[in-house]
């Protein structure tokens, strides 16, 4: 057993770099400090159909993981870690690509673990110049952004798009996808993050604070009367305020698992759509993920900035995400080599 948690992490887990039949899961929902090392058979279960086994080097975190850990999604899957990057270690008999030894990023389940089993159509090859940490930040963010904005909302040139929490992983991906689709983008974020957003083409003239309901009047003025599409990750009164900003026959895209049916019923002229990747057919998911990788390689969009934590620091990484002080993605490393280093070019380790 080894622990690579930095000393400032007060809730370090103890994982093994030699034993592989474990995952990080939930011991008791409701508290982030109740994350625990749990048994897993992903390193040994027999593969069937389209399945591949991946030796995980890095796992991306999403806010859904935090909400799952604190018990918000009761009755839903309690799996943590839905995107990974690593090396294919085994494939089912019928699978030709990817092949054993290929570096891939993927959508998976129970991804905070040395191994995951997933559908081959949930994978994409990692370019040679990407780190595993960078690759693990791509699948959920870009799948969500492309699926929501292009496939559901049909965003096109000149459309006005409001992206809530635009400084987060999905938010930054959506910002870049919307710009790639030639939309006019507006966003909400904490004012402390506005400087970082300028590097992604979003200035203060199109930003408002995500902390108060004043964003409604602010974005209405800055957009010239409202928007065509809202990509929403907020809750409570922010939902109705956002719906009021959507023009007739516009689209409200809900990223959360919970839909506010009462609020949507008060705006019959607005298309209210939930965005959930489980609704995307496997082959379509593969197409979008591979397209995202190509767009990043071509420079049409960028890799998100990444904060990297050792897997033993999962509790502290979850708490950091819950405070929403980061820009971009939080990623857990399973390589066991982390110590503090910093790079303003995209990857910082904590």
Q: What domains, with CATH codes, occur in the chain?
A: 22-138+303-349 (3.90.180.10), 141-278 (3.40.50.720)
Inform me whether the pLDDT recorded for 6 exceeds 60: no
Is residue 262 very low, low, confident or very high in pLDDT (cuts 50, 70, 90)? confident
Instruction: Determine the pLDDT at residue 216.
Output: 97
Number of helices (H), then strands (E), in the chain: 10, 16
Mean pLDDT confidence for 130-140: 98
Inform me whether the pLDDT recorded for 73 exceeds 90: no
Instruction: Determine the pLDDT at residue 348.
Output: 42
Q: Which residue has the higher pLDDT, 10 or 105?
A: 105
Inform me whether the pLDDT recorded for 346 exceeds 50: no
Structure tokens at 8: 């400032």
Inform me whether the pLDDT recorded for 26 exceeds 70: yes
Is residue 347 very low, low, confident or very high in pLDDT (cuts 50, 70, 90)? very low
Mean pLDDT confidence for 146-173: 98
Instruction: Determine the pLDDT at residue 148.
Output: 98
Instruction: Determine the pLDDT at residue 2.
Output: 31
Q: Whole-angstrom Cα distance, residue 105 to residue 290?
A: 10
Q: Quote the strand ranges of the chain, DSSP E.
A: 22-26, 35-39, 51-60, 83-91, 103-107, 115-119, 123-125, 160-163, 184-188, 207-208, 227-232, 246-254, 271-274, 306-310, 329-333, 347-349
Inform me whether the pLDDT recorded for 3 exceeds 80: no
Q: In whole numbers, what is the pLDDT of the chain averaged over residues? A: 89
Q: Whole-angstrom Cα distance, residue 316 to residue 295?
A: 32
Q: Whole-angstrom Cα distance, residue 107 to residue 248?
A: 35
- Residue written as token pair 């635009």: 166
The percentage of the chain sitting over the pLDDT mark of 70, rounded to a whole number, equals 88
Inform me whether the pLDDT recorded for 341 exceeds 80: no
Instruction: Determine the pLDDT at residue 264.
Output: 74
Instruction: Determine the pLDDT at residue 16.
Output: 66
Q: For residue 133, what are the contacts with CB-CB under 8 A and spacing of at least 6?
A: 58, 85, 306, 308, 331, 333, 347
């Amino acid at each position: 057993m080894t622990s690579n948690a930095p000393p400032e992490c007060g809730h370090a887990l103890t994982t093994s770099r030699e034993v592989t039949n474990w995952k990080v899961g939930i011991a008791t929902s409701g508290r982030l400090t109740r994350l625990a090392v749990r048994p897993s058979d992903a390193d040994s279960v027999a593969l069937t159909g389209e399945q591949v086994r991946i030796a995980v080097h890095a796992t991306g975190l999403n806010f859904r993981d935090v909400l799952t850990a604190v018990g918000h999604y009761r009755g839903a899957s309690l799996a943590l870690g839905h995107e990974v990057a690593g090396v294919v270690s085994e494939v089912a008999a019928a699978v030709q690509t990817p092949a054993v030894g290929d570096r891939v990023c993927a959508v998976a389940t129970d991804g905070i673990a040395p191994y995951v089993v997933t559908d081959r159509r949930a994978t994409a090859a990692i370019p040679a110049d990407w780190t595993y940490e960078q690759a693990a930040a791509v699948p959920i963010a870009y799948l969500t952004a492309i699926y929501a904005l292009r496939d559901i909302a049909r965003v096109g040139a000149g459309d006005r798009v409001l992206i809530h929490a635009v400084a987060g992983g999905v938010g930054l991906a959506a910002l870049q996808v919307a710009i790639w689709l030639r939309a006019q983008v507006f966003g909400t974020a904490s004012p402390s993050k506005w400087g970082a957003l300028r590097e992604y083409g979003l200035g203060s003239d199109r930003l408002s604070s995500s902390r108060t309901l004043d964003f409604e009047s602010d974005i209405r003025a800055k957009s010239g009367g409202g928007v065509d599409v809202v990509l929403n990750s907020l809750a409570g009164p922010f939902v109705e305020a956002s719906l009021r900003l959507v023009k007739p026959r516009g689209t409200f895209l809900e990223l959360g698992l919970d839909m506010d049916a009462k609020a949507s019923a008060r705006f019959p002229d607005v298309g209210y759509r939930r965005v959930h990747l489980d609704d995307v057919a496997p082959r379509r998911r593969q197409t979008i993920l591979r397209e995202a990788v190509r767009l990043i390689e071509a420079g049409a969009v960028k890799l998100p900035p990444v904060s990297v934590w050792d897997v033993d620091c999962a509790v502290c990484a979850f708490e950091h995400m819950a405070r929403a002080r980061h820009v971009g993605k939080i990623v857990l490393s399973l390589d066991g080599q982390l110590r503090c280093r910093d790079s303003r070019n995209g990857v910082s380790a904590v």
